[in-house]
């Protein structure tokens, strides 16, 4: 957005020094949030949470140093919104991977400061001629980002059309870690998963997840919190969720990282994705006038 648009956004939705809009990387409009407990930033491009960092902590979300910041491309890192499908389109590989929400221009619905000095930003995305050419349904998305001691991200998807619509989705969270060799992910012990690296083979998790190779898994029938334990930074990141019965764990590892133009060759060592998802058999069918809400709560625990 141009500077005068940012001025209007700040007039209508700015909240003093706690929430303000500015021109960010690639001249994308970004909301900068600074509460007494944490800093965060949200790009209107994609409704994309770029960062979250509680006071005195290392960054919680990871962003690639090679990410694109362009209006027609997704941002690599943070929390991209995958909607109305997760991964490749189920019937047409020519359609954009992970849907169109993460590359669409969202609008600001509102902002507020709440008790306890938390800040909330509400964004909206509605169907258009462009989206209906890709996915022929009317919809209204609402993204609610609340920043305080924890980060709450909630995606509401309302069916504004006359017929049911079926979606998959994800809050595709990228987490910053000290080094992947010092990290385990707990909370999925005993759950079956689809191993996408090995042709969607169905396997069962035993114990915590340690990552030492390319990892791309959809864990099935799981509603439990995940805990990303990071021995190097002596902390754990807790990911709690609602409206989701699948969790995706991803790290591209060395060979795959080299193939990704917006991902540094060595950056796989400093990140892991633990995604709050509706994927695989966890698709949602929403009746006309109905809605589905997908939410993640992200917090830091000291070890």
Q: What is the pLDDT of residues 202-251, one digit of tens each?
A: 999 999 999 999 999 999 999 999 999 999 999 999 999 999 999 999 99
- The domain segmentation of the chain, as residue ranges, is 3-302
pLDDT at 184 over 70: yes
Active site residue 48: no
CA distance 277 to 196: 15
Confidence of residue 303 (pLDDT cuts 50, 70, 90): confident
Yes or no: say if 47 and 125 are a contact pair by the CB < 8 Å rule. yes
Catalytic residue among 137, 154, 172, 267: 172
Alpha-carbon distance values, 65 to 62, 147, 202, 239 (Å): 9, 24, 34, 24
Region 68-88: mean pLDDT is: 97
pLDDT at 117 over 90: no
Active site residue 137: no
Yes or no: say if 209 and 235 are a contact pair by the CB < 8 Å rule. no
| Among candidate residues 282, 262, 291, the one with its CA nearest the CA of residue 174 | 262
Q: What is the CATH number of domain 3-302?
A: 2.70.98.10
pTM of the model: 0.97
Confidence of residue 53 (pLDDT cuts 50, 70, 90): very high
Confidence of residue 3 (pLDDT cuts 50, 70, 90): very low
Helices (H) and strands (E) in the chain, counts: 3, 23
Catalytic residue among 275, 283, 291, 301: 275
pLDDT at 2 over 70: no
CA distance 206 to 188: 8
């Amino acid at each position: 957005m141009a500077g005068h648009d940012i001025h209007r956004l700040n007039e209508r939705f700015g909240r003093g020094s706690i929430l303000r809009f500015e021109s960010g990387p690639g001249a994308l409009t970004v909301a900068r949030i600074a509460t007494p407990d944490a800093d965060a930033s949200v790009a209107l491009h994609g409704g994309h949470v770029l960062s979250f960092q509680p006071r005195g902590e290392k960054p919680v979300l990871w962003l690639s140093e090679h990410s694109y910041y362009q209006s027609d491309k997704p941002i690599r890192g943070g929390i991209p919104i995958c909607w109305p499908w997760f991964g490749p389109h189920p019937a047409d590989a020519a359609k954009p991977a992970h849907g169109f929400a993460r590359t669409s221009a969202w609008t600001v619905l509102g902002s507020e400061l709440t008790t306890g000095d938390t800040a909330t930003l509400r964004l909206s995305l509605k169907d258009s001629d462009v989206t209906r050419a890709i996915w022929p349904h009317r919809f209204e998305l609402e993204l609610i980002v609340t920043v305080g001691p924890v980060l709450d991200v909630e995606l509401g998807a309302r069916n504004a059309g006359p017929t049911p619509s079926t979606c998959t989705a994800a809050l595709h969270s990228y987490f910053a870690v000290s080094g992947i060799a010092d990290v385990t992910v707990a909370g999925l012990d005993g759950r079956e998963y689809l191993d996408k690296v090995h042709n969607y083979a169905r396997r069962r998790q035993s114990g915590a997840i340690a990552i030492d190779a390319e990892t791309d898994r959809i864990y099935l029938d799981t509603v439990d919190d995940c805990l990303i334990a990071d021995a190097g930074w002596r902390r754990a990141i807790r990911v709690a969720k609602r409206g989701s019965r699948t969790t995706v764990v991803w790290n591209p590892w060395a060979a795959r990282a080299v193939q990704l133009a917006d991902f540094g060759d060595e950056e796989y060592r400093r990140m892991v994705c633990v995604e709050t998802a509706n994927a695989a058999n966890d698709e949602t069918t929403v009746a006309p006038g109905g809605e589905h809400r997908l939410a993640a709560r992200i917090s830091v625990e000291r070890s």
